[in-house]
Amino acid sequence: MASKQHRNIVVAPDARSLAETAARRLVARVNEGMGRAAVCLTGGSSPEGLYRLLAENPWRAEVPWQRVHWFMGDDRFVFEDDRLSNMGMARRLFLDRVGVPRANVHPMATDANYPEAAARLYEDELKAFYGADRLDPERPLFDLVLMGLGSDGHTASLFPHSQALEEREHWVVGIAKAGMEPFVPRVTLTFPALASTREMLFLVDGAGKRDILGRVLGGEDLPAGHARADGDLVWLLDRAAAPEEHHAL
Ligand code: 6PG
């Protein structure tokens, strides 16, 4: 993994404009080509504003729903109708509202017997979609990967001190014990799989994130700081989350 990558930091004045900026970037990415596009979603509360916007015009009309595929970067090991489910949330907020073809939504099998079994199934599904077993940096798996930042510095379900942080072979792994609430097992893409994207977009909002964000951007050894992308790496913050020195951006 390359040790340094240029990252763009974009500061939006508030949460609404953060969601709009994210929607604009998503629309631009999925309209870059004329063929199939792939977006890897994230859970937590940070992307909720974006997901709501995608179900509304003008954004809704600008997404070529027939040819965009929706994956999830990590999920909680609960049934999809559980309020903790990340894919359940994405379906409620936009996927089910806009008539996405069923085959274009790729949930993790969180009804498998155990998280590692779901991870193996999802890895197979990603490889089948990609059409190869090895990721080629010249041909990223995703057009856009959305990421969040936890208050302990985790991203996706890659928690501090977890072995999963070092995973280089598997694209997806099961996490028996979450490092943070909700304490349910997780299934998560690994850094190499998340990196296989034209753009990785972190969404971070709220004053509660300011300290941890300052530590990650300051270079402390925290999971989110290990994230890399084959393409662009963008941190989209709202002003409340942005550490002082980034306010003028
Ligand atoms: C999850 C997430 C996780 C999330 C961060 C930030 O399933 O919990 O995917 O990595 O992005 O914890 O969550 P908030 O946006 O709720 O702060």
Looking at residues 120-126, what average pLDDT do you find?
98
State residue 246's pLDDT score: 74
> Which of these, 66, 131, 53, 64, lies nearest to 94 by C-alpha position?
53
Closest residue to atom 9 of ligand 1, CA basis: 43
What pLDDT shows up at residue 46? Answer: 96
Q: Read off the amino acid at residue 35.
A: G
Is residue 46 in contact with ligand 1, taking CB distance under 6 Å? Answer: yes
User: Residue 114: is its pLDDT beyond 50?
Assistant: yes
Query: Across residues 160-184, what is the average pLDDT?
Result: 95
pLDDT, one tens digit per residue, over 192-223 is 999 999 999 999 999 999 999 999 999 999 99
**Is pLDDT above 50 for 2?**
no
Is residue 107 reached through a cis peptide bond, with omega within 30 degrees of 0 on the bond before it? no
Euclidean distance between CA atoms 201 and 135, whole angstroms: 20
CATH of domain 8-246: 3.40.50.1360
Name residues whose C-beta falls within 8 Å of residue 82's C-beta, 6 or more positions apart in sequence. 76, 88
Query: What's the pTM?
Result: 0.96
Backbone angles phi, psi at 60, to 5 degrees: -55, -45
Q: Where are the domains of the chain?
A: 8-246
| Amino acid sitting at position 17 | S
Distance CA 249, CA 233 (A): 16
CA-nearest residue, atom 12 of ligand 1: 150
Q: Is the pLDDT of residue 63 over 70?
A: yes
| For ligand 1, atom 10: residue with the closest CA | 156
